[in-house]
Amino acid sequence: MNLTDQLFPETVVPVLVPLPADRPYSYTVPDGMTVGPGSIVQVPLGPRQVAGVVWDGPTDRVDAKKLRPITHVFDCPPLDETMRRFVDWVADYTLSPPGLVVRMALRAPAAFDPEPWVEGIEATGEKPDLITSARRRLLATAEEAPAWSKSGLAHAAGVSTSVVDGLLRQGVFRTVRFPPPPAVAEPDTGYGRAVLSEDQALAAGELAAAVHRGAFAPILLEGATGSGKTEVYFEAVAKALDAGKQVLILLPEIALTQSFIDRFHARFGAPPAEWHSDVAPKKREAIWRQVAEGRVRIVAGARSSLFLPFRELGLVVVDEEHDPAYKQEDRTFYHARDMAVVRASLGGFPVILASATPSIETRVNAETGRYAHVRLKSRHGDAALPELSLVDMRRHPPARGRFVSPVLETEIRKTLARGEQALLFLNRRGYAPLTLCRVCGHRFQCHNCSTWLVDHRLRGVLQCHHCGFSTPRPEACPECGTLDHLVACGPGVERIAEEIVEDFSEARTIVLSSDIAGGPRRLRRELEAVADGEADIVIGTQLVAKGHHFPKMTLVGAIDADLGLANGDPRAAERTFQLLHQVTGRAGRTGLASRGLIQTFQPRHPVMQALVASDPESFYESEIDERRRNALPPFGRLAAIVVSADRRADAEAHAREIRKAAPEMPEIEMLGPAEAPLAVVRGRHRFRLLVEASRRAPIQAYLRETLARAPRPRGSVQLQIDVDPQSFL
């Protein structure tokens, strides 16, 4: 027994509250209240009441008389040991206050209280005093099911509810209460089992064996788009469900489409519980609660579902594991794929990372044997990968002011003539990324950010993609006043659509980007429509690259393949390779011969060469080599510190203080500060520091010590710590 225990017996407990708190606060447990580690409680905090979680470990050495009591214990399953260690782990790794991490696990406050039971009626067996035809129908209908809601029964029998009321008064029916309905039906693991090819069966067998062992095992499931990865990991999901485990399938939010849900439904006879930003609040609460109670067995969700309070989690699948959308860059900077591996390791179960183009980090882990590597060799059935070729834009330039080369245009024409679909990919929303005045050269810049305003012609505005600032597109230049001399520079999807509609006026053309009017729901509908063949030419941003199955899509054209290579990010080549591979993989998924045309000004670039040679191995080899030579991740580690402030000088001065405070440690170095490429965002000036470390160097300890030695940020100065940064802007 330690000193703390003697001074403060168990009536004082630590409670972690969902605020930027560095550690749990101490509260007393009033007489008659029972709490344990993980209990979800309500506690006073200043003038407010907040929900928190009873944590473990020692409490502060404060006089118990000065502490305030816990107000209330919710009737809710506690956050289990694994989940608490997971919260601690994420906080420690990301240098985020544990309070902010636990907040992600407490996202459904209304669900801390049990869901209300539902009122219904059932027949008692008593006979009514008088039989009418309405009453006869009612009694006959009531026999069809054990329990009914009052209005449901009246409706089913075709009578008014007053007839039910009459029989209730006579004691022919009585009111009963039922448990809340399940958020989703139970999956049936034997339902729509696919007949696997030999290759697939082998892979599924390996995954199932790992699930059967039930120990921590990270597995890379690699195979071309359409090779059946989903089908194969569904078998592992079935195995885990059969073993009585809960399962989480993580997907990038945009890939969580109706077609995925339908496929799951077809395999398991019921849809999974969905968890993403578009789920209605009531549904979210029911899912959170039923996940905690173990009633929901399977969740398909975006990255935040990693923080759901599963009680018997036994498998996590991270589909499209390479996707940058898994990185959260807001408050707590974490990578959901990496944290999924951590969660599996703490919980002692397998985690499957699926991708056609794995991240370099995951590939290296698989090659060094840290992860198991399960591969699918070819596309399933007669679906062949598209034949890819480069269009050298220096040799086949489009007409002035246009962006589709004659080579691609011819190919589109042929595709439409066969009654098939074409997809034109350009990773740029809006009409044009820059607008300038032809007379005085004025460029339209955001008032809050160091960015150009993007012309969104459909909405008639110029908009900033970083802060959302928008202004009506003027007719005259605000600088020199000249009318009608503003020009759009460069293309966005809307501009490509304009060009296409001119050339293919009879084709049905659709533009798909994340800012589509009508939001995610509309977008999902449009994607369904494309899959059903209701468009001839689709022009889209990267969201069309993910997970969709468009049976009649036989041509994919990448308008500006070099776009992603331009930024000086260490992952630029990898990202470009993954995105182009994925987007061209939308073609030819059903046996029709298909083509991918990649418009580029750099046909000799290794990324372009690897793509057309359909030789991902050569790309991985050279890219891994490159990373090793430069000690970039995963051969070295990086962390970024972004200092921002209302005034440029304040941000720069504080960044310099941090640099001065950095301790001397072997194999760790701090670079900068340098003004960030995005120098101003939302009116805040930004400076970056970059920490470079060897693989084994204690980068968290280094950051912690640096921050402890540096002066506290004052005034408008704010810090963001990003361990394993994905963005360098």
Residue numbers in the known binding site for Zn(2+) are: 437, 440, 446, 449, 464, 467, 477, 480
First to last CA, the chain: 51
Instruction: Report yes or no: 277 and 253 within 8 Å, Cβ to Cβ.
Output: yes
In this complex, which beta carbon is closest to ligand ADP, that of residue 264 or of residue 452?
A: 264
Instruction: Report yes or no: 403 and 493 within 8 Å, Cβ to Cβ.
Output: no
Look up tokens 């697939």; give the residue.
200
- Which H, E and C letters describe 449-517, residue by residue? CCCECEEECCCCEEECCCCCCEEECCCECCCCCCECCEEEECCCHHHHHHHHHHHCCCCCEEEECCCCC
**Residue stretches of the annotated binding site:** 437, 440, 446, 449, 464, 467, 477, 480
**In the complex, what is the shortest distance from the CB of residue 621 to ligand ADP, in angstroms, rounded to a whole number?**
23
**Per the structure block, which two tokens stand in for 89?**
């782990």
Look up tokens 């005045």; give the residue.
437
| DSSP-H helix ranges across 95-216 | 98-105, 133-142, 150-157, 161-169, 198-213
State the binding string over 533-572 for ligand ADP (x if CB under 6 A, else -).
----------------x-----------------------
**In the complex, what is the shortest distance from the CB of residue 638 to ligand ADP, in angstroms, rounded to a whole number?**
31
Residue 228, interface with ligand ADP (CB under 6 A)?
Answer: yes
| Contact partner, 229, from ligand ADP, Zn ion, none, Cβ < 5-8 Å per class | ligand ADP
Residue 531, interface with Zn ion (CB under 5 A)?
Answer: no
| Contact partner, 464, from ligand ADP, Zn ion, none, Cβ < 5-8 Å per class | Zn ion
Select from 28, 59, 141, 230 the one that contacts ligand ADP (CB under 6 A).
Answer: 230
In this complex, which beta carbon is closest to ligand ADP, that of residue 54 or of residue 238?
A: 238
CA-based angle 13:14:16, to the nearest 5?
A: 140
In this complex, which beta carbon is closest to ligand ADP, that of residue 196 or of residue 434?
A: 196
Residue 197, interface with ligand ADP (CB under 6 A)?
Answer: yes
Segment contacting ligand ADP (CB under 6 A): 36-44, 218-226, 451-459, 649-657? Answer: 218-226
What are the angstrom distances between the C-alpha of 627 and each of 581, 613, 620?
21, 22, 10
| Contact partner, 226, from ligand ADP, Zn ion, none, Cβ < 5-8 Å per class | ligand ADP
In 3D, which of 489, 454, 486 has the Cα closest to residue 468? Answer: 454
In this complex, which beta carbon is closest to ligand ADP, that of residue 589 or of residue 688?
A: 589
State the binding string over 363-402 for ligand ADP (x if CB under 6 A, else -).
-----------------x----------------------
**In the complex, what is the shortest distance from the CB of residue 275 to Zn ion, in angstroms, rounded to a whole number?**
31
Looking only at the bridges linking them, the beta strands covering 327-328 and 334-335 are antiparallel
**In the complex, what is the shortest distance from the CB of residue 457 to ligand ADP, in angstroms, rounded to a whole number?**
35
DSSP string over 228-245: SHHHHHHHHHHHHHHTT-
Number of residues that bind ligand ADP (CB under 6 A): 15
Name the burial class of residue 229, with classes exposed (0-12), middle (13-18) and buried (19+) by CB atoms within 10 angstroms of its CB: buried
Window 456 to 495, contacts with Zn ion (CB under 5 A):
464, 466-467, 469
Instruction: Report yes or no: 14 and 56 within 8 Å, Cβ to Cβ.
Output: yes
Residue 357, interface with ligand ADP (CB under 6 A)?
Answer: no
In 3D, which of 447, 455, 452, 444 has the Cα closest to residue 477? Answer: 444
In this complex, which beta carbon is closest to Zn ion, that of residue 96 or of residue 463?
A: 463
Number of residues that bind Zn ion (CB under 5 A): 7
Residue 582, interface with ligand ADP (CB under 6 A)?
Answer: no
Phi, psi of 452 (to 5 degrees): -80, 150
Number of residues that make up the chain: 729
In this complex, which beta carbon is closest to Zn ion, that of residue 531 or of residue 681?
A: 681
Select from 225, 427, 599, 726 the one that contacts ligand ADP (CB under 6 A).
Answer: 225
| Contact partner, 200, from Zn ion, ligand ADP, none, Cβ < 5-8 Å per class | ligand ADP
348 torsion bin: left (phi>0), alpha (psi -120 to 50), beta (else)? left
Helix (H, G, I), strand (E, B) or coil at 405: coil
| Contact partner, 466, from Zn ion, ligand ADP, none, Cβ < 5-8 Å per class | Zn ion
In this complex, which beta carbon is closest to ligand ADP, that of residue 308 or of residue 356?
A: 356
**In the complex, what is the shortest distance from the CB of residue 447 to Zn ion, in angstroms, rounded to a whole number?**
7
Segment contacting ligand ADP (CB under 6 A): 142-150, 177-185, 226-234, 254-262? Answer: 226-234
**Per the structure block, which two tokens stand in for 297?**
């067995």
**In the complex, what is the shortest distance from the CB of residue 614 to ligand ADP, in angstroms, rounded to a whole number?**
16
**In the complex, what is the shortest distance from the CB of residue 670 to Zn ion, in angstroms, rounded to a whole number?**
29
| Contact partner, 273, from Zn ion, ligand ADP, none, Cβ < 5-8 Å per class | none
What are the angstrom distances between the C-alpha of 45 and each of 19, 52, 241?
10, 10, 41
10 Å Cβ neighbour count for 90? Answer: 24
Select from 103, 229, 465, 548 the one that contacts ligand ADP (CB under 6 A).
Answer: 229
Residue 727, interface with Zn ion (CB under 5 A)?
Answer: no
In 3D, which of 656, 671, 668 has the Cα closest to residue 717? Answer: 656
**In the complex, what is the shortest distance from the CB of residue 105 to Zn ion, in angstroms, rounded to a whole number?**
32
In this complex, which beta carbon is closest to ligand ADP, that of residue 86 or of residue 577?
A: 577
Instruction: Report yes or no: 351 and 386 within 8 Å, Cβ to Cβ.
Output: no
Segment contacting Zn ion (CB under 5 A): 127-135, 192-200, 447-455, 516-524? Answer: 447-455
Select from 38, 98, 226, 271 the one that contacts ligand ADP (CB under 6 A).
Answer: 226
Residue 218, interface with ligand ADP (CB under 6 A)?
Answer: no
| Contact partner, 228, from ligand ADP, Zn ion, none, Cβ < 5-8 Å per class | ligand ADP
Instruction: Report yes or no: 389 and 585 within 8 Å, Cβ to Cβ.
Output: no
C-alpha 216/C-alpha 211 separation (Å) is: 9
**In the complex, what is the shortest distance from the CB of residue 194 to ligand ADP, in angstroms, rounded to a whole number?**
4
DSSP string over 296-334: --EEEE-GGGGGS--SSEEEEEEETTT-GGGEE-SSS-E
In this complex, which beta carbon is closest to ligand ADP, that of residue 197 or of residue 463?
A: 197
- Interface residues with Zn ion (CB under 5 A)? 446, 448-449, 464, 466-467, 469
Q: Which residues bind ligand ADP (CB under 6 A)?
A: 194-197, 200, 223, 225-231, 380, 549
